[in-house]
Amino acid sequence: MTKTENEIYDVAIVGGGPAGLNAALVLARSRRRILVIDEEMPRNQVTRESHGFLTRDGIKPSEFRRIAKEQILKYPSVAFQSAVVASVTGGDGDFLLWLEGSEAAVRSRKLLFATGMKDVLPDIEGLSDVYGTSAFVCPFCDGWELRDRRIGVIALNDSSMHFAKMISGWTKHLTLLTNASMLNDEQRAELSTRGIPVIEESIQRIESQQGYVSRIAFNDGRSIDCDGIFFVPTLVQSTNIPEIMGCNMSNNGSVMKVDTDPMGRTNVPGVYSAGDASGSPFQLIAAASSGATAAAAIQMDLLDEEWNTVR
């Protein structure tokens, strides 16, 4: 960390998923000089198709980003940099973003974190082999493709009943797999009444054929054939920089999120957050929407400052 660049961007956007990209589009159209810094490791990179985004249903995640960038780069005041932001110093009006592997800092007046979340998979042999082909986390994203198929629903403790109910909207051929966490009698009766089998034994491994799940084997020797899996991952923030900078965080159910006002402002002046990181419903279109909202707030805050400096 030795030198800073002279150029100061109006806004640095950390993260180039739908939240950061939509913020970039709105700010570019607001004639702001912006830099999008992106590590290019989006949450949905394992999937082959994204669903539920109007006009882009079924698109490859990489193609979604390519089109977005192409449209944003039509505006001359935007730049992209492929890099990881390692830390941030300075404050509102002059933030310094230090990038991994670089001695120069990027300077910006405002700072938007659109850094998303990471999914930590349960430690089950074979699960990562089928993640994104036939094992998924969100039925709204991938339930349609597995409708009426034989689904293993892997969910522990408090989430198990809720998740079983969710998946029952897409298929009646589901088996709840608690991987050795035990249900109570009332929960077992609730499932039984609805014809949903439950296996509370620990999972030994997930078997696949050509990258797709075929069978789930249990430690007591049982196994079930299945066509797909839905499971509950542990979600963690992609970066802890907002927390280090003093942004308030709160637990949104089982997920730590960056607290913002409805416009994406954090409690730290000049710092904003959008997308999965600040707990918008975990969907591409919701992330894009919150990025657009935060961009509008940033533009209004910059205009306020500029308006008030004229005497």
Ligand X SMILES: Cc1cc2nc3c(=O)[nH]c(=O)nc-3n(C[C@H](O)[C@H](O)[C@H](O)COP(=O)(O)OP(=O)(O)OC[C@H]3O[C@@H](n4cnc5c(N)ncnc54)[C@H](O)[C@@H]3O)c2cc1C
Q: Which residues pair with 203 in a beta bridge?
A: 218
* Contact status, residue 9 vs residue 34, Cβ threshold 8 Å: yes
Q: In the complex with ligand X, which residue's Cβ is closer, 116 or 228?
A: 116
> How many residues of this chain interact with ligand X, rule: CB under 6 A?
42
Tokens of 299: 């533009």
* Contact status, residue 88 vs residue 108, Cβ threshold 8 Å: no
For ligand X, which residue of 4, 108, 115, 179 counts as binding (CB under 6 A)?
115
For ligand X, which residue of 24, 30, 43, 218 counts as binding (CB under 6 A)?
43
* Contact status, residue 44 vs residue 276, Cβ threshold 8 Å: no
In the complex, least distance from residue 86 CB atom to ligand X, rounded to whole angstroms: 7
For ligand X, which residue of 178, 283, 289, 293 counts as binding (CB under 6 A)?
283
State yes or no: residue 287 binds ligand X (CB under 6 A): yes
Question: Which stretch, 16-24, 27-35, 219-227, 258-266, contacts ligand X (CB under 6 A)?
Answer: 16-24
Inter-axis angle of helices 18-29 and 61-72, to 10 degrees?
Answer: 10
State yes or no: residue 138 binds ligand X (CB under 6 A): yes
For residue 177, which of 229, 254, 125, 253 has the smallest C-alpha distance?
A: 229
Question: Which stretch, 8-16, 68-76, 208-216, 221-229, contacts ligand X (CB under 6 A)?
Answer: 8-16
For ligand X, which residue of 30, 44, 168, 179 counts as binding (CB under 6 A)?
44
Residues 6+ apart with CB under 8 A from 93: 109, 270
For ligand X, which residue of 4, 9, 13, 15 counts as binding (CB under 6 A)?
15
For ligand X, which residue of 11, 12, 13, 19 counts as binding (CB under 6 A)?
19
Binding track, positions 241-280, relative to ligand X; x by CB under 6 A: ----------------------------------xxx---
Of residues 152 through 211, those in contact with ligand X by CB under 6 A are: none
* Contact status, residue 62 vs residue 147, Cβ threshold 8 Å: no
In the complex, least distance from residue 275 CB atom to ligand X, rounded to whole angstroms: 2
State yes or no: residue 13 binds ligand X (CB under 6 A): no
CA distance readout (Å), 50 to 62, 169, 237: 10, 20, 21
Distance CA 77, CA 69 (A): 13
Strands 255-258 and 104-113: unpaired
State yes or no: residue 97 binds ligand X (CB under 6 A): no
* Contact status, residue 130 vs residue 30, Cβ threshold 8 Å: no
Q: Which residues pair with 175 in a beta bridge?
A: 152
For residue 118, which of 25, 253, 15 has the smallest C-alpha distance?
A: 15
In the complex, least distance from residue 237 CB atom to ligand X, rounded to whole angstroms: 9
Residues 6+ apart with CB under 8 A from 286: 280
State yes or no: residue 239 binds ligand X (CB under 6 A): yes
Q: In the complex with ligand X, which residue's Cβ is closer, 39 or 259?
A: 39
Residues at the interface with ligand X (CB under 6 A): 14-20, 37-44, 46-47, 50-53, 84-85, 114-116, 119, 132, 136-138, 141, 238-239, 275-277, 282-285, 287
